[in-house]
Structure 1
Amino acid sequence: MLDDDIKQQLSAYLERVKEPFEMVASLNDGEKAIEMRELLEEIVAARPDMISLRTDGDDTRKPSFTLQRKGTDSKLRFAAIPMGHEFTSLILALLWTGGHPPKVEADTIEQIKALDADLTFEIYMSLSCHNCPDVVQALSLMAIYNPRINVTVIDGGLYQNEIEEREIMGVPTVFLNGEFFANGRMSVEEIVQKVDTGAAKRDAEKLSAKAPYEVLIIGGGPAGAAAAIYASRKGIRTGVVSERFGGQVNDTMEIANYPGIPETNGPAYASALEQHVRGYEVDIMNTQRVAGVTPAAVEGGLITVTLDNGGTLKSRTVILATGARWRNVNVPGEQEYKTKGVAYCPHCDGPLFKGKDVAVIGGGNSGVEAAIDLAGLVKHVTVIEFMPEMKADAVLIKKLQSLPNVTVHTNAQTTEITGASGKVNGLKFKHRGDGTDANVDLEGVFVQIGLVPNTEWLGTTVERSKFGEIVVDARGATNVPGVFAAGDCTTVPYKQIVVAAGAGSTAALSAFDYLIRTPAPEAASEENKEAVAA
């Protein structure tokens, strides 16, 4: 099943296995069961002294297999043939089961071990989803390190009957103890916090006890990461607080226009950003949502950043790099049918609509790229573009027009997403030229109409444009002394990764310039001295 190069890489990885474990397969006579058995036998062949295989499993999901360290009661099952994006998840699960330590903070591992409840997770994923591996790997880690946590990883394409029964129309989707738990990308820290009811209070106390920073960056995307690198290299106390490192980059499938990197994907680039920042003395506070910023009482004083969990952080300067998110079309039915036919990631959710009729709202590059990708999976794609002409690059439009199963409506306004029995069944739109209404019967709608800045939480603290973007000058400075901003959340034109990274660097250099020209408040200086001494 695996080619020779992959087998060689697999053998090299599995040399890191330190403790013996077995795989127990539940198989039937189907084609997929044969493929699964072949894969498992190749894994055993790569490390026969440490890994063994049994095929007498009796789980109701066939084919499937478990990983179990001898002498333990770990409960991790793959109801999937984890190839594609999930091959890395399989390799990591094998290594962790075999005693190789994960690259996760020790505090998080201890928090997993301390969870005192019986938790049964089922995660539905697709092998083409680039958001799914993070959740699969997080839950796999939890199952391996806590015997009271039971995790089953389910390929929606392999178990289509369960997808239909549970009306799952977006991945990753997680159920906990039989009830819906979450949908979308989540880190292990986020999942643990969600099931550990006392985590928020402990986090708040821990964060509030931190000494003031000289530069505190809000956001961990390209702008925030670049700002952190540049600030830390100046030798000043730097912190980054973010909901998820990498930001929206994590949801980008292909990156082919960053100078010096001919081609990569969003999750890989986001991981590289975090590794780069961790190479410096930067205090990274992940999975934290910021609720507000209070400017310093006097210029050069300490700015207070308040977190959702009630904790507070203080800093002499702050760089706002909160990025942007997909814009909603804001028509009846969008919120009601989100994850029930309304989707925003064609790469993640496209395979769930194989052989069905779908629509893409938006005729820019994102919309046309989504339509091209979907056309190879679904029965038919209808593209709805508000403007008289599509705004995508000419090469993309030419490719779209060559596809036989795509219909494009320009100068068309989406008016409603309809549904029945909890699922999308159609889309209504208006021809703007003559005002006539139209309806398309379909089962999925992919919204691709641009971005909205993540700045609502700021209120009137800093000046924002009518579009919600933070107003900055050429140095990245806002109208509030000591507060800078960078990236997609600002008025800087062209929302591109390379532009955001450059803006983050500019903001960090400007913050450093502000620091050396502004006397430090005595209280902050003393607290920083104590932190350095500690």
Structure 2
Amino acid sequence: MLDANLKTQLKAYLEKVTQPFEIVASLDDGAKSQEMLGLLQDIAGLSDKISLRTDGNDARKPSFSLNRINGNISLTFAGLPMGHEFTSLVLALLQVGGHPSKESQDVIEQIKGLQGEFNFETYFSLSCQNCPDVVQALNLMAVLNPNIRHVAIDGALFQDEVEARQVMSVPSIYLNGEVFGQGRMDVAQILAKLDTGAASRAADQMNAKDAFDVLVVGGGPAGASAAVYAARKGIRTGVAAERFGGQVLDTMSIENFISVKETEGPKLARALEEHVKQYDVDIMNLQRASKLIPAGADGLHTVEFENGGRLQAKTVILSTGARWREMNVPGEAEYKAKGVCFCPHCDGPLFKGKRVAVIGGGNSGVEAAIDLAGIVSHVTLLEFGESMRADAVLQAKVRSLPNVTIHTLAQTTEVLGDGQKVTGLVYKDRTTEQLHTVELEGIFVQIGLLPNSDWLKGTVELNRFGEIVVDAKGQTNIPGVFAAGDVTTVPYKQIVIAVGEGAKASLSAFDHLIRQG
């Protein structure tokens, strides 16, 4: 199952295993079971501390559990954890085998302290770049706390189960049989939902902090760059982010970040965070800003957060980024994650053999249509303008595909559904004003970005698109308040540009501080 090179790498990792454990497989006569058996035999053959049993009786076949000898761990993979999930498998093997987690001791103790029974199930797809974060977080929690059980399920392999539960977006997380969450979540986010007192404790901690010299609001590429440049000046620096990494976490492939030939969004986001942590920076994750109060007589700006916390700083750098633009038509909100999706890489496999639509004819939309055409039965691409805006090579490719239909001058007016899932959409021909109904099971929205600046309305100057207006130094209309990245008027929303703008804003903030004495 594993090639020689991968076996060599995995054997080196498994040398870190200190506690013996067994793999218990539940198999049938199918081809996937034979693949799983080959994989598990390869793994067991690489370490004398790992044994393999094939007498499992799990109802999901193929599946396997990792059980510590004389231990109490419930961690199961239903399906083959390859692709993006192979890292999840390796980490699970190490952690069940006694290798310590890199999570902070505070987080580990918080996990161990959870009371109650938590039976988690996560549906993933092998092409989903956000799924491993959820799988790895819940696997770790299952290793640390015997009250927590986790099953990671390949939705493409267990289609009947996916259909029965109406799973149309991954990762989809169930807790004790009920929907717990959808989309990327890390350990801290999961704990925040389980530990109801965490938000108030975080607010108390924020309120007790001394004022920062520079407070960065946002943890994407711009925010990370700003934090590094500020910390290197030796000044008191803080970062408060709704989720560290920002929208980079939702990006599949990155091939234009100079000096890095190719990477994936979550990998780059982890690298950004690790770089920031090399410096004396106070990182406050999972904190959503709600209000900016410009400096008064004390010279300190105040940022308020939704959890009730407040932070003060001599200068502030706003780098809250952007989010996916929605269609804002009837039915869209109702059927989000029930057929209305925003990540073709993540959710595409769930629509295998079905009919879908892609909204948007830019690069993202056309790339989505091309990717989906190899999975689904038919793709309908709807472009609002007279022609698609994607690169010529992409347009040529999508037009060559026999199962893609393209409609230009098409305005989506409604998402249709049966109360449980999407059943179609309605679009208007902008030339004839005639309405058309398309029967389908999935809709992938790819129509650009909206800046995360709603909380700044009435305080910082915004343009008609909601972007923060900045000058050449990243200065806003409020002295001492700077901005960088996709939330600003700076054109071309690119990671490499955001990094540069974050550095510029940080240097400008430092210049402001020294000129203010």
**C-alpha distance in structure 1 between counterparts of 2:434 and 2:156, whole Å:** 39
Shift of 1:44: 0.8
* Structure 2 equivalent of residue 470 of structure 1: 468
1:211 paired residue number: 210
Q: How far apart in 1 are the matches of 2:362 and 2:413?
A: 19
Structure 2 counterparts to residues 146-185 of structure 1, below 5 A: 146-185=145-184
1:436-475 equivalence runs, <5 A:
436-475=434-473
SS at 1:46 equivalent: coil
Q: How does 1:183-222 map to 2 (within 5 A)?
A: 183-222=182-221
Query: Greater shift after overlay, 446-455 or 60-69?
Result: 60-69
Distance 1:164 1:511 in 2: 53
Q: What CA distance in whole angstroms lies between the structure 1 residues aligned with 2:380 and 2:154?
A: 27
Residue in 2 that maps onto 1:340: 338
Following superposition, the deviation at residue 59 of structure 1 comes to 1.7
Query: For residue 87 of structure 1, what is the amino acid of its counterpart?
Result: F
Q: Confirm whether residue 493 of structure 1 aligns to residue 491 of structure 2.
A: yes
1:249 aligned partner:
248
Q: Is residue 2:135 matched to residue 1:107?
A: no
Aligned twin of 1:81? 80
Q: Distance in 1 between matches of 2:501 and 2:103?
A: 30
How many Å separate the matches in 1 of 2:287 and 2:189? 9
SS in 2 for 1:153: strand
Alignment partners' CA distance in 1, 2:455 and 2:190: 24
TM-score by length of 1: 0.95
Matches of 1:54 and 1:208, distance apart in 2: 53
Q: Deviations over 1:47-68 (max 9, x none)?
A: 1x21111222222222211112
Residue 396 of structure 2 is matched in structure 1 by: 398
Distance 1:133 1:279 in 2: 25
Taking structure 2 as the reference length, the TM-score comes to: 0.98
TM-superposition CA deviations, 1:245-299 (whole Å, max 9, x none): 110011111111122112111111111111111111111111111121211103x
Distance 1:484 1:211 in 2: 20
Counterpart residue number, 1:10: 10
- Residue 114 of structure 1 aligns with an amino acid whose one-letter code is G
Give distance in 2, aligned partners of 1:180 and 1:128.
22
Paired residue secondary structure (1:192): helix
For residues 210 and 105 of structure 2, the distance between their equivalents in structure 1, rounded to whole angstroms, comes to 22
Mapped partners of 2:57, 2:426: distance in 1: 48
The match for 1:33 is: 33
Listed one character per residue, the Cα deviations across residues 127-157 of structure 1 (whole Å, up to 9, x for unaligned) are 1111100000010010000000011111101
CA shift digits 1:326-367 (9 cap, x unpaired): 000011111111111110000000000111111000001111
Residue 364 of structure 2: aligned partner: 366
Provide the secondary structure at the position in 1 that maps to 2:116: coil
**TM-superposed deviation, 1:218:** 0.7
Pair 1:312 & 2:310 matched: yes
Q: Moved runs in structure 1, 4+ residues, more than 6 A?
A: none
Please identify, of 175-184 and 281-290, the stretch whose mean Cα deviation from structure 2 is larger: 281-290
What code does the residue aligned with 1:445 have?
I
Letter in 2 for 1:402: S
Residue 526 of structure 1 corresponds to none
In structure 2, what is the equivalent of residue 65 of structure 1?
A: 64
Q: CA RMSD in A?
A: 1.1
Instruction: Provide the rounded CA distance (Å) in 1 between the counterparts of 2:253 and 2:374.
Output: 17
- Offset, 1:420: 1.6
Looking at structure 2, the residues matched to 352 and 60 of structure 1 have their Cα atoms a distance apart, in angstroms, of 21
Mapped partners of 2:80, 2:129: distance in 1: 16
What whole-Å deviation, never above 9, does each CA across 1:405-458 have from its counterpart, x for those lacking one? 111111111111111241111111111112122121111100000000011112
Deviation at 1:459, TM superposition (A): 2.5
1:328 to 326, 332, 335: 326
Output the amino acid matched with 1:110: E
| Structure 1 Cα separation of the partners of residues 506 and 113 of structure 2 | 39
Q: Which residue of 1 aligns with 2:133?
A: 134
Where does residue 231 of structure 2 map in the other structure?
Answer: 232
Aligned to 2:290, the other structure's residue is in SS state strand
Give the whole-Å Cα distance in 1 for the aligned partners of 2:205 and 2:24.
42
In structure 2, the partner of 1:273 is 272
Residues of 2 paired with 1:289 and 1:262: CA distance? 33
Deviation at 1:29, TM superposition (A): 2.0
DSSP 3-state at the match of 1:112: helix
Q: Partner letter of residue 67 of structure 2? A: Q
User: What is the one-letter code of the residue matched to 2:292?
Assistant: V
2:20 & 2:207 partners in 1: Cα distance? Answer: 43
Partner of 1:528: none
Does structure 1 residue 505 correspond to structure 2 residue 503?
A: yes
SS at match of 2:422: strand
The AA in structure 1 aligned to 2:400 is S
State the distance in 2 between where 1:177 and 1:467 align: 43
Shift of 1:319: 0.4
- AA in 2 matched with 1:393: D
Q: Which runs of 5+ in 2 are unaligned?
A: none
Which amino acid in 2 is paired with 1:108? V
Task: Give a deviation string over 1:494-520, Cα, whole Å, max 9, x none.
Answer: 11111111110110000000111113x
Does 2:119 correspond to 1:120? yes
Q: Distance in 1 between matches of 2:60 and 2:389?
A: 47
Q: Residues 10-53 of structure 1, C-alpha deviation per residue, up to 9 Å, x if partnerless?
A: 10111111111111112222221221121111111111x21111
> For residues 445-501 of structure 1, what are the alpha-carbon distances to aligned partners after superposition, in whole Å with 9 as ceiling and x for unaligned?
000000000111123121111111111111001111111100000111111111111
> What does residue 45 of structure 1 align with?
45
> SS of 1:363's equivalent?
coil
Which whole-Å CA distance do the structure 2 matches of 1:154 and 1:6 have between them?
23
Distance 2:209 2:98 in 1: 34
Q: Distance in 2 between the 1:116 and 1:263 partners?
A: 43
Give the Cα separation in 2 of the matches to 1:58 and 1:374. 36
The CA distance in 2 between the partners of 1:124 and 1:470, in whole Å, is 38
